[in-house]
């Protein structure tokens, strides 16, 4: 894992509300995070917690007709002005050349009636003034870099002629076409088998280390996130409930939801049923007052259901959790561990 540098991207109090026929969905509700230079930041949480909407809002890819977005998205090399709700022309100039995104379903992310080469060349030419021969050489080199065999020949093929793992490699090549400084990878291994997942994650980390770019890796799989990320942001019901260095999150989780996610991971050599988190996440149309995890939390007390939730820092302030009982709970758990080992 790389040593992070100064802030590259700062997100402050990001809110993305979507108007639907059933009501307003508070998909992202006050998210703040920072990505540093040369850092891999993981965003983890159950499906529907707001991970993808956060990334799409940062990129300016949410449908404007049904979206109300507020807060700040500051890409520091572009200046200290927020790019949230920036003009479309400004966002187009940033996408690809500075910010790039890999989408979670490689089977649907590419145009099925255009060749792989055409789609990759479009990305190569979007932010570079190259001759036709130079652009083709660059595109072929990108396919080779991401591990596509016989890249010159495969440029002529169509998406249906590639496996899921190969398509994901093509999407990575397209994302890297203009050498972005920040790559947002939205569950890039979800639809792939375990062996291919490992290959894709290894490729992403290798590219990140070689280029020095920063990366946001989104996943619902905490095991994946803890393996490859420098820091972790845990999301639940549209909010960040915990953030900190990966080692701190793994060894000393401070929010009951994070602890429940870790407890649900299978232990090495485990046999028998896995532990699960009881209940379901709340509706983001009718969000409950107080802590949103309270209905599923085994440490809940009456105050949790009315507490005005906020992130509370611990230790040096680089580890924070949205739980007012975190210190008390840490003590209770330490007592339980002591009794069980006695």
DSSP string, 79-102: -SS--TT--HHHHHHHBTTTEEEE
Torsion angles phi and psi, residue 195, rounded to 5? -65, -45
Name residue, tokens 């739980």: 323
Angle value at C-alpha 285, between 69 and 220, nearest 5 degrees: 80
Q: Which two tokens stand for residue 291?
A: 């802590």
As a whole number of angstroms, the distance between CA 59 and CA 62 comes to 8
CATH 3.40.50.300 segments of the chain? 7-236
Write out the H or E segment, with its range, that includes residue 245: strand 239-245
In this predicted structure, what is the pLDDT of residue 288? Answer: 87
Taking only the tens of pLDDT, the chain with its 342 residues reads 455 679 999 999 999 999 999 999 999 999 999 999 999 999 999 999 999 999 999 999 998 777 899 999 999 999 999 999 899 999 999 998 899 999 888 888 899 999 999 999 999 998 888 999 999 999 999 999 999 999 999 999 999 999 989 999 999 999 999 899 999 999 988 778 888 888 999 999 999 999 999 999 999 888 889 989 999 999 999 999 999 999 999 999 999 999 999 988 877 766 767 788 889 999 999 998 999 999 999 999 999 999 887 899 876 678 999 999 998 888 777 666 555 555
* pTM score, whole prediction: 0.91
Q: Please, which residues bridge with residue 31 across strands?
A: 14
Spatial CB neighbours of 226, under 8 Å, sequence gap ≥ 6: 42, 232, 246, 249, 250
Domain 7-236 is classified in which CATH homologous superfamily?
P-loop containing nucleotide triphosphate hydrolases (3.40.50.300)
Tokens for 1, please give them.
Answer: 């894992």
- Please tell me the predicted confidence (pLDDT) of residue 315: 67
Give the chain's radius of gyration (CA, Å).
Answer: 21
pLDDT score recorded for residue 285: 95
218/49 Cα distance (integer angstroms): 11
Q: How far is CA 125 from CA 96, 119, 174, 177, 339, in A?
A: 11, 10, 11, 9, 64
SS3 304: helix
CB contact at 8 A, 5 and 37: yes
Cα separation of 185 and 104, whole Å?
8
Q: Encoding tokens for residue 47?
A: 């499906």
Rounded Cα gap, residues 148 and 200, in angstroms: 12
């Amino acid at each position: 894992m790389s040593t992070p540098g100064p802030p590259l991207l700062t997100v402050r109090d990001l809110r993305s509300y979507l108007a639907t026929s059933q009501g307003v969905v508070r998909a992202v509700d006050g998210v703040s995070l920072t990505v540093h230079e040369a850092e891999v930041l993981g965003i983890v949480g159950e499906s529907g917690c707001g991970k993808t909407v956060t990334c799409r809002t940062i990129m300016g890819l949410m449908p404007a007709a049904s979206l109300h977005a507020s807060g700040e998205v500051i890409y520091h090399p572009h200046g200290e002005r927020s790019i949230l709700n920036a003009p479309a022309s400004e966002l187009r100039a940033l996408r690809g050349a500075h910010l790039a995104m890999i989408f979670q379903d490689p089977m649907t992310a590419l145009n099925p009636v255009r060749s792989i080469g055409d789609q990759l060349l479009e990305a190569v030419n979007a932010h570079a003034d190259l001759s036709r021969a130079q652009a083709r050489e660059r595109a072929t080199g990108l396919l080779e870099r991401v591990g596509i065999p016989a890249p010159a020949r495969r440029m002529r093929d169509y998406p249906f002629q590639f496996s899921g793992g190969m398509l994901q490699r093509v999407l990575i090549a397209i994302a890297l076409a203009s050498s972005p400084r920040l790559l947002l990878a939205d569950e890039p291994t979800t639809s792939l088998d375990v062996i291919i997942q490992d290959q894709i994650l290894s490729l992403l980390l290798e590219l990140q280390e070689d280029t020095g770019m920063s990366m946001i890796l989104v996943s619902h799989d905490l095991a994946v996130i803890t393996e490859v990320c420098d820091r972790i942001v845990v999301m639940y019901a549209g909010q960040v409930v915990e953030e900190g260095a990966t080692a701190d999150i793994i060894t000393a989780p401070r929010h009951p939801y994070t602890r429940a996610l870790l407890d649900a991971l299978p232990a090495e050599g485990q046999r028998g049923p896995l532990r699960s988190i009881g209940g379901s996440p709340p509706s983001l149309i009718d969000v409950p007052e107080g802590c949103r995890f309270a209905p599923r939390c085994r440490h809940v007390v009456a105050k949790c259901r009315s507490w005005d939730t906020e992130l509370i820092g611990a230790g040096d302030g680089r580890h924070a959790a949205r739980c007012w009982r975190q210190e008390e709970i840490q003590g209770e758990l330490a007592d339980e561990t002591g009794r069980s080992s006695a």
